[in-house]
Structures are given as structure tokens and as C-alpha cells.
Amino acid sequence: MPKLPWPRRSSPPHPLLSLALQGGGAHGAYTWGVLDRLLEAGLDLEGISGTSAGAMNAVALAQGWTEGGAEGARAALARFWQAVGDSVPFHLELLHTLNPANDGALPAPMNMLVGLTRMFSPYQFNPFELNPLRDVVRAQFDFERLRRDCPLKLFIAATAVRTGKVRLFHTAELSEAALLASACLPTLHHAVEIDGEFYWDGGFTANPAIYPLLYECDTPDILMVLLNPLQRDNAPRSADDIAARSMELGFSTTFLREMRMIAHARHHIRETSSFWPLGRFERKLLRQRFHLIEARELGEVHGASKLNATSTFLGQLHEFGRAAADAWLGRHRSAVGQRETVDVAGLFL
């Protein structure tokens, strides 16, 4: 695919940062909290790679950024997640608040609906493709304006069903269908058709994609916001937790493989750099600076909580995310533009 032209932007007062936002259903409200705090702190952005819920956050941020800078982005993110929470019926919200474990477990009626997905395809139990998220996306985002005016470089990942290849939708290609394709779980929704191709959730092939931030962004600083903890303390024992962990691993494989390849390549370049001059790509790879915010708190919540979009739970996740971002800023804000703050080789090799 040819490289698309990006809108011009003035030089920022602070070092630029690119974001890699992982998907994770309702857990994306944690990323909302992270972004809310980063924007409040005045960090300037160049590119955002997002998948599924990460794509929703990316587009919400971009919508607000286009309208009113960082404060506009914070307001747009809050509106989007409030609309998501408002789409959940009140009685399910009430049942969630009565959960004594406070672990994000789904209310019983929602569990029953999830159980249907193990026996019927969405073409059977939801033939008319009722999708509350589509209504939220349609009401919240002006894709025509985003394509025309957004100064941020967006990379929204979806998976082509027939070929298994990743498809990245750039800023100039954004649409309602592209965003819904990035978040299309095949057990819950019909595949999204775009120009004769059918798409499922981008998590199958990029969760999130790192390479567009390497190749198409100028800033060396990339902050990864991961909703799936890189390591679990214990192996799952219950059927629900085993299923949740299996899906989590499936949606993390491509990201882990990509980061492992980056770590191997950097190690190889350093080992052999004394024998011949470094090329442009080798120099670029070595000067990349990776940073990480990892949602370790989510390792303690119920396995099915990624489907819990009740306002109360989303608000809890938002607060967790803000606290994590605040801690990261306290430790590493001064490193942006100066040095890497995560041991890529130690994490991914």
C-alpha cells in the first residue's frame, strides 16, 4: 500500500509521543483513564496505532483533538465511554452494583446471552445484526471531518477473514465500517464488509500493530498501553478463566511476536555493528525508545469482565487507568525524548 500523505502540523513545544493501544473490550475504559491523564499532563502526540477498544479510544481522542486539542480529546473520550455505559440497560447496571465480589463479573442475564454464543453463530441468534456499539459510533464520530482535518496519524487494525491478513486503515481511510471492523468479535457480530472484503477483530493479527509507528512516524518514542498483562501469577483453573486466558493469548500472539522480532533485531545489530556500517533502518531501530503502561490490576478481575460495559465498572477502570498513568508520569515523563524506559529484550526475548 502506498504511503499516504499526512496533514502538516506545527512544531510541538514538547517531545512527540506515539501510542500503541491494545484492545480488550470494556477494559478499554482503563486506556481511557490512561489517555485522560496523559492529555491532562500536556503530552503531545504524533501517531496512534489502535485495535478494537484501542481503536475506539484512538478515534475518540482524534475526534476531540481535531475539534479542540488536548482538552477536546479528553472531553470526546469521556463522551464516548459515557455513551457506551448508557447503552447498557438500567437493570443490568443495578445487578452489577449488587455484585459482592466487585470483580467485574457479568450479571446473570448477560452471562446467559454469552452462553448462547457457544451454541449459535451471530447469524442465527442475531440475524438483524443489532449492535448498540454501532449506534454509539455513529452518534459520536464525524468521520468525514476526521479524514479531512485530523492532524494525528491513525492506524486502525482489522483482520481480513478470507486471507487472515492485517488491514490497517489510515486517517484518510477512516469510516464507521472500518472502526466497527476493528472491534468485530466473530462470536458476537456479523463480519463487516468493506469494498467486497469481510473483516473481523484486528486483535487476531495486530493487537496493536507496532510497525506503522516505526515506519510512518518521525518520533522515536512509542508508549504501549497493554490491557492484557504480559505475565499472570497463576495458571487458570476454572472453565471460564481458562477460556478467557486462551482468548487473551490468542489476541496477544501477533503483538508478542512483533516485539520479539524487534528485540532480536536490535540485539543482532548491536552484536554485529562493529563489523560493518549501519544502514538507515538499523539506525532507526536502535534509536527507537519504547515505554510501557501495563494494566496489571486487570489480572485480578473476572475473565468475562471484558464484556461488562456497565457505567459503574467503566468508571472503576477509568480510575485505575488514571492512577497508572499518573505513576508512569511521575517516574518517566522526563525520559520522553531522552531514553527508553522499558527493557524490551528482558520482556520479549
pLDDT for the residue 91: 41
pLDDT for the residue 113: 60
Supply angle C-alpha 251, 255, 257, rounded to 5: 110
The fold for domain 17-231+242-344 equals: Cytosolic phospholipase A2 catalytic domain (3.40.1090)
pLDDT beneath 70: ranges in the chain: 1-13, 89-119, 128, 302-304
Please enumerate, as own/partner, the contacts of 123-131 that have beta carbons within 8 Å and a separation of 24 or more.
Answer: 123/190, 126/188, 126/189, 126/190, 129/189, 129/190, 131/180, 131/189
pTM for this prediction: 0.90
pLDDT digit string, tens, across residues 54-72: 999 999 999 999 999 999 9
Retrieve residue 170's grid coordinates: 489510515
pLDDT for the residue 13: 59
pLDDT for the residue 124: 79
Positions marked catalytic: 52, 201
Spatial contact of 202 and 156, defined as CB atoms under 8 Å apart: yes
Residues β-bridged to residue 48: 19, 154
Task: Please state, in angstroms and rounded to a whole number, the distance separating the CA atoms of residues 325 and 42.
Answer: 13
Residues β-bridged to residue 159: 166, 200
Residues β-bridged to residue 157: 51, 168
Where helices occur in 87-210 by DSSP H, the ranges are 90-97, 108-116, 122-125, 132-140, 143-149, 176-182
pLDDT for the residue 188: 87
Q: What is the CA radius of gyration of the chain?
A: 20
Q: What is the residue-wise DSSP string for 231-282?
A: --SS---SHHHHHHHHHHHHHHHHHHHHHHHHHHHHHHHHHHTTTS---HHH
pLDDT for the residue 98: 41
pLDDT for the residue 93: 46
pLDDT for the residue 100: 46
Q: What is the residue-wise DSSP string for 139-174?
A: HH--HHHHHHH--SEEEEEEEETTT--EEEEEGGG-
